[in-house]
Structure 1
Amino acid sequence: MKNRLTDPLIEVLGLGMGSSLNRAEMERLVSADVLAGGARLLARFAHLPGERIVVGSPLSEALERMAKARAEGLRVAVLADGDPLFYGIGTRLVEHFGADALHFTPGITAVQAACARLGLTWNDLAAVSLHGRDDPGPLLAALAASGRAAVYTDQVNTPSAIGMLLLEYSLDDAVLWVCENLGGPEERLRRLSPAEAAREEFAPLNLVIVQIASASDARPMLGRPDDFYHRHDGLITKGPARACSVAALRLTPDAVLWDVGAGCGSVGIEALALMPRGRVFAVERDPERHQAIKENIRRSGAWLVKAVKGAAPEAFVGLPDPDRVFVGGSLGNPGAVGAAKAPASGKAKPGALAEACRRLKPGGRIVANTVLLGSLHAALEHFQALGWPVEVTQVQAGVSAPLAGDLRLSAQNPIFIVAADKPSSS
Structure 2
Amino acid sequence: MGRSPWLSIVGLGENGADGLCTASLNALQTAEIIMGPPRHLALLPDVSAQQVTWPVPFTNGIAQLMSFRGKRVVMLASGDPFWFGAGSSVMRDLQADEWVAYPSVSTFSLAANMMGWPLEKTHCLGLHAAPLARMRSALAHDARLIVLLRDGGAVADVAAYLDQLGWGASTISVLESLGGPDALRTDICAADQITDAFSHPVCVAVEVAGTGDAMPLASGRPDGLFDSDGTMTKRPVRALTLSALAPRAGQHLWDIGGGSGSIAIEWLLSDPSLSATTIEPNAERSARIAANAAALGVDRLQVIHGFAPEVLRDLPKPDTVFIGGGLSAEMLVWLEAHLAKGTRLVANAVTLESETLLMQAQTRLGGELLRIELSNAAPLGSKRGWKASYPIVQWSVVL
Shared fold (TM-score, shorter chain, > 0.5) = yes
**Structure 1 contact 15–79 (Cα < 8 Å) conserved:** yes
Distance 1:273 1:145, change over 3 A: farther
The 1-side partners of 2:10 and 2:168 are apart by 40
Q: What is the aligned counterpart of 2:240 among 209, 224, 247? A: 247
CA offset at residue 89 of structure 1?
A: 1.6
* Matching of residue 136 in structure 1 with residue 132 in structure 2: yes
Match of 1:57 in 2: 56
Alignment pair present for 1:162 and 2:164: no
Match of 1:300 in 2: none
How does the TM-score come out when normalised to structure 1? 0.56
Q: Against the structure 1 CA distance between its residues 198 and 364, is the aligned structure 2 distance closer, same or farther, given a 3 Å change threshold?
A: farther
Letter aligned with residue 62 of structure 2:
L
From 147, 154, 172, the counterpart of 1:151: 147
Post-superposition shift, 1:198? 5.1
Equivalent of residue 81 in structure 2, options 84, 87, 93: 84
Question: How many angstroms apart in 1 are the aligned matches of 2:53 and 2:143?
Answer: 38
Quick check: 2:142–2:208 contact (8 Å CA) kept in 1?
A: no
2:270 alignment partner AA: P
| Other structure's SS at 2:47 match | coil
**What pairs up with 1:72-221 in 2 under 5 angstroms?**
74-133=71-130, 135-143=131-139, 147-155=143-151, 158-196=154-192, 200-214=196-210, 220=216
Paired residues of 1:161 and 1:198 also in contact (CA < 8 A): no
CA displacement 1:239-259 (0-9 Å, x = unmatched): xx9534532466676989866
Answer yes or no: is the 8 Å Cα contact 1:94–1:102 preserved in 2: no
Q: Pairwise mapping of residues 8-407 of structure 1 onto structure 2 (< 5 A)?
A: 8-18=5-15, 20=18, 21-45=20-44, 47-71=46-70, 74-133=71-130, 135-143=131-139, 147-155=143-151, 158-196=154-192, 200-214=196-210, 220=216, 242-248=235-241, 275-276=269-270, 318-321=287-290, 365-366=323-324, 380=351, 395=373
CA offsets, 1:250-305, max 9 Å, x none?
Answer: 66769898669xxxxxxx79x95993359xxxxxxxxxxxxxxxxxxxxxxxxxxx
- Deviation of residue 32 (structure 1)? 0.9
Is the 8 Å Cα contact of residues 128 and 149 (structure 1) preserved in structure 2? yes
CA offset at residue 322 of structure 1? Answer: 8.7
Instruction: Tell me the secondary structure at the aligned position of residue 191 of structure 2.
Output: helix
Kindly indicate whether the alpha-carbon contact (under 8 Å) linking 1:30 and 1:48 is maintained by their aligned counterparts in 2.
Answer: yes
In the TM superposition, residue 29 of structure 1 has moved relative to its aligned partner by 1.0
Change (3 A) 1:152 1:397: same
**Counterpart in the other structure of 1:412:** 386
Task: Give deviations 1:312-342, integer Å, cap 9, x for gaps.
Answer: x999585334999xxxxxxxxxxxxxxxxxx
Deviation of 1:187 after TM superposition, in Å, equals 2.3
Question: 2: distance between equivalents of 1:50 and 1:274?
Answer: 45
CA shift, 1:179, in A, is 0.5
Cα deviation 1:200-256 (Å, max 9, x = unaligned): 4322321112222357996615699x9xx9xxxxxxxxxxx9534532466676989
Count of residue pairs brought into register by the alignment? 303
Q: CA deviation at 1:163?
A: 0.9
Contact 1:394 1:414 in 2 (8 A): no
Q: CA deviation at 1:122?
A: 0.8
Cα distance in 2 between the residues matched to 1:67 and 1:84: 17
Distance 1:130 1:366, change over 3 A: same
2:269, 2:259 → 1: CA distance? 13
| Residues 344-369 of structure 1, C-alpha deviations (whole Å, 9 max, x = no match) | xxxxxxxxxxxxx97999765448xx
> What is the root-mean-square deviation of aligned Cα atoms in Å?
4.8
The alpha-carbon deviation at position 161 of structure 1 amounts to: 0.9
Q: Distance in 2 between matches of 1:100 and 1:206?
A: 34
1:108 Cα offset (Å) = 0.6
Q: Deviations over 1:101-136 (max 9, x none)?
A: 112111011111111122222122221122222x33
Name the SS for the 1:149 alignment partner. Answer: strand
Distance 1:7 1:67 in 2: 16
Identity among equivalent pairs (%) = 19
Aligned to 2:121, what secondary structure does the other structure show? Answer: coil
Whether contact under 8 Å (1:151, 1:207) holds in the other structure is yes
What SS class does the counterpart of residue 147 from structure 2 fall into? strand
- One-letter identity of the residue aligned with 1:243: P
